[in-house]
Amino acid sequence: MEIDADEWTSAADAASKGLQRLPQSRLLLYFAGSAKGRLGRELIAGLHLEKAKKELEVAVQLLMDALKAPEELGLGPILFT
């Protein structure tokens, strides 16, 4: 919902809360990274460069984690039954 309304801070917060409950969710990692990236771009547009840099660094890490295999995240194998 927040993503549809371009509320990137709220979207990032919602995804972060979801990750507290489901830390292995690659979809939530993607949503959090995407929202942080969009927030970073908005901050750049507003010339808040230091804060933008921090948000974009977090975004890159979240998106890289979303691409990792579960074993690389220290979660063990995920079995599909």
Q: What is the mean pLDDT of residues 58-78?
A: 79
3-class SS letters over 10-74:
HHHHHHHHHHHHCCCCHHHHHHHHHHHHHHHHHHHHCCCHHHHHHHHHHHHHHHHHHHCCCCCCC
Tell me the HSE value of 5 on the side-chain side, using a 13 A CA sphere: 7
Instruction: Work out the average pLDDT over 54-66.
Output: 95
**What is the band of 23 on the pLDDT scale with cuts at 50, 70, 90?**
confident
Q: What is the mean pLDDT of residues 69-74?
A: 66
**pTM reported for the whole predicted model:** 0.74
Domain residue spans of the chain: 8-67
For the chain, state the CA radius of gyration. Answer: 14
Q: What percent of the chain has pLDDT over 90?
A: 59
